[in-house]
């Protein structure tokens, strides 16, 4: 049982991010632009009253606050990866009409929100899709049924379906055999420590173990493990299942969208060769040094932005999680504008880790 004297002083993510930043070849951070961005970001967050309560405002997120909500969040973050479209994202009309889409309650949902929509669609059909013991029963929860649940309302299928099913099977087995069939028991075992919970997740579930070899060192990114903890923290508004005394140890969640907007803000700067690679929509394999640098430097730049905000506003209620939520939401709002402007597109890495 993890207590106040947890054997885990940190997740290891921030140490890895600093190492990546200090040794990067193709990605650099502009301290001056981070400082400038910090002031504008904080002002915008204040205007929008950005807080943990913002999480529940989205129509697709659960409004209940109980164990079933924890199971919903766990499933969504278990499968929260690789929703970018194979369609050329610079062609916004074509992209929106053909990319993987789930129609739910009168609206077509794409990207991450398509996952939330398909989970809600399955629950409305009476299918216990958020129940780990269900995933662990291939007779009731067959691959054919899961393929049906992941059906698209357009011509493009969900990416990495086989990997998603494998993640469900792995998590179903682990949670059934080790945690009495619910992620709630992982939270209880972590005993109020976000750091301990991240370690529990990555040690027991390899599909969350988001690590890479970078310049002779294993670096830890842990995007999905950390966002799982953060979503529970935000959903429960820092109470009950969402209480974590060390929540500020959680970093931002290095994906596609946040590096894009950090580059747009000037916080991240890329080598000419990396810019050309991304603009040409060329694949960047998971674990490629450039991909590791994009993610690690994104984490470290958000730490710099947070530090600048707290330097100017010592009593500011801000952490890397809220900054990430804001940056990701803003990047989505600006998606069509960014796609047709001179801004760099998202990098293309097909991976289960983000």
CA distance linking residue 48 with residue 317, whole number of Å: 14
Q: If you write DSSP's letter for every residue of 169-208 in order, what string do you get?
A: HHHHHHHHHHSTT-THHHHHHHTT-HHHHHHHHHHH-GGG
Distance, in Å, from the CA atom of 350 to the CA atom of 354, rounded to the nearest integer, reads 8
Catalytic residue among 26, 77, 255, 324: 255
Q: CA-CA distance, 298 to 215, in Å (whole number)?
A: 18
Known active-site residue 143: no
Using DSSP's 3-state secondary structure scheme, residue 29 falls into: strand
Q: Which of 251, 269, 249 is nearest to 325 (CA)?
A: 251
Instruction: Give how far Cα 221 sits from Cα of 14, 20, 195, 218, 252, Å.
Output: 8, 11, 13, 10, 10
Q: At what angle do helices 112-124 and 67-78 cross, to 10 degrees?
A: 130
φ, ψ of residue 28 to 5 degrees: the values are -130, 165
Helix, strand or coil for residue 249?
helix
- If we measure between CA atoms, which residue out of 317, 311, 261 comes closest to residue 49? 317
Which H or E element spans position 289?
helix 289-312
| Listed residue (207, 184, 194) closest to 82, CA to CA | 207
Q: Which residues are catalytic?
A: 255
């Amino acid at each position: 049982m993890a207590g106040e004297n947890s054997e885990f002083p940190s997740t290891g993510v921030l140490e890895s991010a600093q190492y990546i930043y200090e040794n990067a070849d193709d990605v650099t951070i502009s301290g001056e632009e981070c400082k400038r961005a910090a002031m504008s970001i904080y002002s915008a967050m204040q205007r929008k009253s950005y807080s943990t309560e913002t999480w529940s405002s989205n129509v697709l997120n659960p409004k209940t606050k109980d164990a079933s909500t924890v199971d919903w969040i766990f499933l969504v973050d278990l499968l929260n990866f690789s929703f970018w479209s194979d369609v050329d994202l610079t062609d916004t009309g074509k992209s929106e009409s053909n990319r993987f889409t789930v129609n739910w309650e009168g609206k077509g949902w794409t990207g991450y929100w398509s996952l939330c929509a398909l989970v809600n669609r399955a629950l409305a059909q009476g299918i216990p899709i958020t129940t780990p013991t269900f995933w662990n029963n291939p007779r009731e929860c067959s691959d054919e049924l899961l393929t049906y649940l992941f059906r698209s309302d357009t011509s493009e299928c969900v990416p990495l379906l086989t990997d998603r099913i494998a993640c469900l099977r792995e998590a179903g087995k682990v949670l059934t055999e080790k945690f009495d069939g619910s992620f709630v028991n992982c939270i209880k075992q972590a005993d109020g420590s976000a750091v301990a919970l991240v370690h529990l997740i990555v040690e027991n579930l390899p599909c969350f173990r988001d690590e890479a070899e970078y310049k002779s060192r294993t670096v830890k990114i842990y995007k999905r493990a950390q966002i799982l903890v953060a979503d529970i923290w935000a959903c429960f508004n820092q109470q009950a299942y969402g209480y974590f005394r060390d929540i500020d140890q959680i970093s931002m969640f290095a994906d596609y969208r946040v590096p894009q907007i950090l580059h747009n803000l000037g916080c991240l700067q890329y080598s000419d060769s990396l810019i050309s690679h991304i603009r040409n929509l060329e694949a960047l394999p998971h674990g490629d040094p450039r991909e590791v640098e994009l993610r690690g430097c994104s984490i470290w730049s958000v730490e710099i932005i947070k530090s600048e905000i707290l330097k100017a506003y010592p009593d500011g209620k801000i952490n890397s999680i809220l900054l990430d939520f804001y940056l990701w939401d803003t990047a989505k709002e600006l998606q069509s504008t960014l796609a047709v402007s001179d801004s760099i597109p998202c990098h293309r890495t097909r991976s289960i880790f983000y």
